[in-house]
Amino acid sequence: MNVFFRFLVILLISDLSLFAQGISKTSNPPIVKYDSSVIYGGTFPAVTLYSNDLEQYKYNLLKRRVQKIYPYVEQGKKILIEMSRNEEVSKKKEHKKYVRSTEEELKKKFEDELKNLTINEGLVLVKLVNRETGNNCYNLIKNLKGSVNAFFWQQIGKRYGYDLKQEYIAKENRELEQAIEDLQEGGLVPMLSRKK
């Protein structure tokens, strides 16, 4: 039995060494495939690294939130520009009717998706709206829906940790600014205006 066991061990070792040598002699070098944007002069996405794993995780989570939320902000910005043009042209009564119809249309289109946002995603949404429009959410609601609605949404926002009256200051939101910059350089979000 002991001789059989030694024979088996020697056989396995020799087979493994031959197997390893056979692979190294016959296998091709690894093939590196490049994305077409890299071949034609594109850039790799920017990466911000933290020395602490927890901080890196939080930052990557913030980047994913910005990437998810930005299309809503972009759509909202376009609608606000359109509404401001309509306000200049039409009378006050017609403008209110237009705001109501636009609100109903937006509810049908985005209500389910926006209701499923987490509290932190909502906070990113509020900050990005403030950043992109140059106006805080409270004033936007007040101008479009009136001060009673603005007060109502401010109270609901406070319940979830938002302050709709807070202005966006880039220096206080450095990680958000860095996340936006990284996503821009990687081509994952359109170029956002840089607020100082």
Q: Are residues 14 and 88 in the same domain?
A: no
Number of domains in the chain: 2
**What pLDDT does residue 194 have?**
46
- pLDDT < 50 stretches in the chain: 16-41, 193-196
State the maximum Cα–Cα separation within the chain, in Å, rounded to a whole number.
Answer: 102
- Alpha carbon distances (Å) from 2 to 11, 14, 178, 194: 14, 18, 66, 77
Residue 193 forms part of a structural domain: no
Is the pTM for the entire model greater than 0.75?
no
Q: Are residues 77 and 102 in the same domain?
A: yes
Residue 191 forms part of a structural domain: no
| Length in residues, the chain | 196
Write out the residue range of the structural domain in which residue 14 sits: 2-39
Residue 45 forms part of a structural domain: no
Residue 83 forms part of a structural domain: yes
Measured distance CA(124)–CA(68) in Å, rounded: 10
Q: Are residues 74 and 23 in the same domain?
A: no
Q: Are residues 101 and 16 in the same domain?
A: no
8 A C-beta contact, residue 45 and residue 186: yes
* Tens-digit pLDDT profile for residues 100-155: 888 888 888 888 888 888 989 989 999 999 998 888 889 988 888 889 999 999 99
